[in-house]
Amino acid sequence: MEEGSDYRRWDELIPDALGLIFSNLPLQEILTVIPRVCKSWSKAVTGPYCWQEIDIEEWSNRCQPDHLDQMLEMLITRSCGSLRKLCVSGLHTEMIFNFIAKNAGSLQTLRLPRSEMSDSIVEQIASRLSMITFLDVSYCGKIGARALEAIGKNCKLLVGLCRNLHPLDTAGKPLQDDEAYAIASTMPKLKHLEMAYHLISTTSVLKILSSCPELGFLDLRGCWDVKLDDKFLKDKFPKLKVLGPLVIDHYERNDWDDCSDSSDAFEYLAWEFVAGEMGEFDEDEDDESYWDDEGRLEELELRFYEGNNEDAELYGWPPSP
């Protein structure tokens, strides 16, 4: 760049500014394109600046569980304790839940739909999620009232909860009010609550309404046994918006029902981690990455450079501009 120019060099931007810019890009570009531009950009994406908010929910719906755990551990480690928001779907192992809780000191928003945590796991980690204000545990079939009670007792700042169920998981079963009562007894600050397709009664819903005076939105789609009088709601809870239960609703599948262990409907990602601090990850045999004509990722090879100027060429890195 010519001397006296009014424009600042991109590689001279502070990492915070670069991280703010890069955080608007797709995950694949942040991990595979940006680090190859120059060392200052690589430093920005390998530091905490891009990872205060991690949203890999869409990608996690179609990746292999072991790859998901590896990716999540890497990104959370990069956040260096500054993680504020995490959105990921389909977690399976107790180890990864404990890892998230261990790094949840600043975490405020946590979305874990379709994950396989149990009541006992939630009871173990709930005390480390005390800063959570919004939680999504929809379609988590292995948790129940015990887990929700543990969350309510430990997450005193919680104002939003999503606990939607799949209609096929509740079809033909008897009423189960225990989760509703757990919410009513431990989450008085709720402002947003989703309980679609729960097998709950009118009595338990009224208990929630009386126990959560700040509630502004309640999703009761598919809660067919709940009967609420519109006039009663307007008189007693004028600020409350209720969705359902009698709503003609097309259940949003998000392609989840099309996935199975034996299905080849989705290609999964092959990862290769070449980073100093991530040496525990296995190296994938494939070493070619490319995008097909439709822009869908077939294979993805991740290479991370954290060295000095003199060994930049070892990783095929271009010098800083």
pLDDT digits (tens, 9 = 90+) for 45-102: 888 888 889 999 988 988 888 889 999 999 999 999 999 999 999 999 999 999 999 9
**pLDDT band, very low/low/confident/very high, at 303 (cuts 50, 70, 90):** very low
Distance between CA atoms of 219 and 264, rounded to whole angstroms?
35
Q: Are 80 and 107 in contact (CB under 8 A)?
A: no
**CA 201 to chain CA mean position, Å:** 30
Residue among 164, 47, 155, 48 nearest 110 (CA): 155
For a pLDDT cut of 90, what percent of the chain falls above it?
52
Structure tokens, 89: 């779907």
Beta-bridge partners for 209: none
Averaged pLDDT, 141-148: 96
Q: 290 - beta bridge partners?
A: 299
Of 22, 26, 58, 62, whose CA–CA distance to 42 is shortest? 22
Angstrom CA distances, 117 to 121, 179, 261, 304, stand at: 6, 16, 19, 31
